[in-house]
Amino acid sequence: MRLTLPLAIAAATALAPTAAFATNGYFSHGYGTISKGMAGAGTALSQDSITAATNPAGMAFIGNRVDGGFEIFSPRREYTVDGNPAQGDMFPLQPGTYESSRDGFVIPHFGFNTQLSEVTTFGVSVFANGGMNTDYPGGTGGPFYGGRTGVNLEQLFIAPTWSWEFSDNQAIGVSPVIAYQRFEAKGLQSFSGFSSAPDAVSNNGTDDAWGYGYQIGWQGEITDTLRGGVSWRNILKMNEFDKYRGLFAEQGDFDIPQMFNAGIAWSGIENHWLLLDVQHIRYSEINSIGNPLLPNLQTAQLGSDDGAGFGWDDMTIVKLGWQWQQTPEHAWRAGVSYGESPISDEDVLFNILAPGVQEWHFTGGFTHQFTDSLALSGMAFYSPAKEVSGANPLAQNQIITVEMYQVGASASLGWTF
């Protein structure tokens, strides 16, 4: 009976619209307000019921609790074209600087966990990410001469999680992951001539897809002051975006790449934790994301198995977090992370639509315990401006620069029972 309310909230959250955002490629810099306050570190130290997004084994150590909150996220994106079109150019762009609108989003998260026995738990983590969201004005014809132009990707994950503390302070966890995503593109009609399905490239409204996969992890005590954790999520196999089978490689395929997390957490200084995480995301394994623009655009049609993609490389992100338990009621957090941009200077043309170029994240956060069972956590982050410049491969003497910076803040309530 005590699972009824959390399950109802999880269902409601799962059906709520989610906003697309781009931090580490199109994955968030972390999940849950507490972890986000430490730049996403937390594979080895779990403190809320959103933790299955990072390491399902962490649910073994958080007890009976419910967490819910939201993030206000603001990415600021623009691109600049230098150099005038020349005779013989295949695809010149209009010179100038153009900013994407829609720079404010609200992103919910929710989780709950309950002890089934002294050594097993069951819970659900609901979280979101995305990354290809742009909306450029069409006053000068739009970036690609199709009027108002942009793409919107929204993704939601539901991770029911079982964990087992198989030995004292040693646990494993497994999460079957249910994924939902939806996508829309507009203003890309000029690419129809390059496509295997010209009527399924742009301006077809929103398409959606369901998919599935799993995530497994271990977390435990190594010494009295050192904890460790690892997790792996496989490729989430998604249904195709049929309305955009002429845009994405493999006839509209847009699987979600596999991800690895490893971390340690050290408590050798009284009332302090120091966390170090390494995350690896394999974007290159997904053809619609990893295929380069050239030579693929010249050798295969858009939408085919070898069709051009966004040319994203794999990402490895290092995250360093700190937590200080100032009093029994109040904790402070800070963090920094770095991962090299997945976008190279050779692929800037298509990535006008998806400028996931961010590298650095600086974060801070807190938790205040109001009662033994109720706590408020907050987080804010800043990702400084990053730009990538490269030649327009389809026009002479044109240089394209994509740029973005981000700010955001989140708050959540945690209730233990």
CA distance 290 to 73: 26
Q: Which two tokens stand for residue 1?
A: 């009976």
At 104 the pLDDT is 83
| Euclidean distance between the first and the last CA atom of the chain, given in angstroms as a whole number | 14
Q: Of how many residues is the chain composed?
A: 417
Residues of the chain with pLDDT under 50: 1-19
At 21 the pLDDT is 53
- Amino acid making up residue 166: F
At 172 the pLDDT is 98
At 6 the pLDDT is 45
* Structural domains in the chain, sorted by start: 4-416 (2.40.160.60)
CB atoms within 10 A of CB 263: 25
HSE toward the beta carbon, residue 49, CA cutoff 13 A: 33
- What pLDDT digit, counting tens, does each position of 112-144 carry? 999 999 999 999 999 998 556 899 998 778 899
At 103 the pLDDT is 83
What are the E-state strand segments in 29-149? 65-82, 96-99, 105-115, 120-129
Backbone angles phi, psi at 212, to 5 degrees: -155, 165
At 7 the pLDDT is 44
With a CB cutoff of 8 Å and minimum separation 6, the contacts of 149 are 134, 135, 136, 138, 142, 143, 186, 187, 188, 353
At 180 the pLDDT is 97
